[in-house]
Amino acid sequence: MPEESGGWRIDDLARRTSLTVDTIRFYQREGLLQPAARVGRTKEFGPDHLARLERIRELQAKRFSLAAIRALLDADRGVDLVEEVFAGDIGVSYTLEELIQKSGINEKTVAVLRSERLLRDPAEFGQSAYDANDLDMIRAVGELSRLGIPNPILIELARIYVDGVERMQSQVVEIFSGQYPTSLTPEEFVEFRSNADSAAHTLYPLFTRVVEYLHKRTTQRLALKAIELRAALPQTEDE
């Protein structure tokens, strides 16, 4: 069907996007691409479909999982914020086996990291593969192990951090989705959300700076208290 009539057939769309017809049909089945308009016996696609396919390609290049792409396309707000938060490291991607091999850690330890939920399936955080972030975390754990921190301690530490960060971030996400009680009026909340959406790109790095600061200062303060306590105790024989 010629362009002048305002619609393209699926093979026209495929040619324009350099995708195969099968891929486009797959996206339709998965609910990623909106249905074509029916004109008589033909299905017609238009510029909206083209734009959607380009957006899908862009998100796939960032290695989002299909579920994450669907969620991002469906959500009408907060998309930029989430994209900023989700953005993977371009250019590296690992399977679980590759992670294990590259990290030099043994499979049993990786199994523990997984059962303690320190390492989750990439789909859970909206990505199609592991990347340099996961490799770096596993290497840090491997390093702690080599330095003589025994497994029972590593497991306790993993639990403390996994549960602690989960609790904090659940509350933070509740604040942004309006489920957390605050003193804002509904109008003020709408304005806050609108500001947060427009500033999305810079929000996450700013929060990260605050959390890293707190982690450092709190560790210093509590370590100092622990030392003062120890110094104040009478020395025992084996010390």
Q: Taking CB under 8 A as the criterion, which residues in 27-46 touch its own copies?
A: none
Restricted to residues 162-181, the positions that interact with its own copies (CB under 8 A) are 162, 164-173, 175-177, 180
* Cβ 146 to its own copies shortest distance, Å: 9
Which CB sits closer to its own copies, 22 or 76? 76
Asked whether the beta carbons of 135 and 103 are under 8 A apart, the reply is yes
Which CB sits closer to its own copies, 19 or 184? 184
Instruction: Label residues 192-214 b or e (16+ Cβ within 10 Å = b).
Output: ebeebeeebeebeeeeeeeeeee
Of 216, 234, 236, 237, the one binding its own copies by CB under 8 A: 216
Q: Which of the stretches 15-23, 33-41, 46-54, 191-199 binds its own copies when contact is defined by CB under 8 A?
A: 191-199
By CB under 8 A, is residue 110 in contact with its own copies? no
Which CB sits closer to its own copies, 13 or 154? 154
Element (H, E) at 42: strand 42-44
By CB under 8 A, is residue 5 in contact with its own copies? no
Rounded to an integer, what distance in angstroms lies between the CA atom of residue 231 and that of residue 99?
44
Of 109, 206, 236, 237, the one binding its own copies by CB under 8 A: 206
Of 204, 234, 236, 237, the one binding its own copies by CB under 8 A: 204
Taking residue 63's Cβ as centre, other Cβ atoms within 10 Å add up to 22
Radius of gyration of the chain (CA): 25
Taking residue 68's Cβ as centre, other Cβ atoms within 10 Å add up to 21
CA 184 to chain centre: 28
* Cβ 31 to its own copies shortest distance, Å: 10
* Cβ 40 to its own copies shortest distance, Å: 31
Rounded to an integer, what distance in angstroms lies between the CA atom of residue 198 and that of residue 22?
36
Restricted to residues 75-94, the positions that interact with its own copies (CB under 8 A) are 75-78, 81-82, 85-86
Q: How far is CA 147 from CA 119, 139, 141, 154, 184, in A?
A: 21, 12, 10, 12, 49
Which CB sits closer to its own copies, 29 or 167? 167
Residues in the chain: 239
Of 111, 209, 236, 237, the one binding its own copies by CB under 8 A: 209
Q: Which of the stretches 35-43, 48-56, 97-105, 153-161 binds its own copies when contact is defined by CB under 8 A?
A: 153-161
Asked whether the beta carbons of 40 and 32 are under 8 A apart, the reply is no
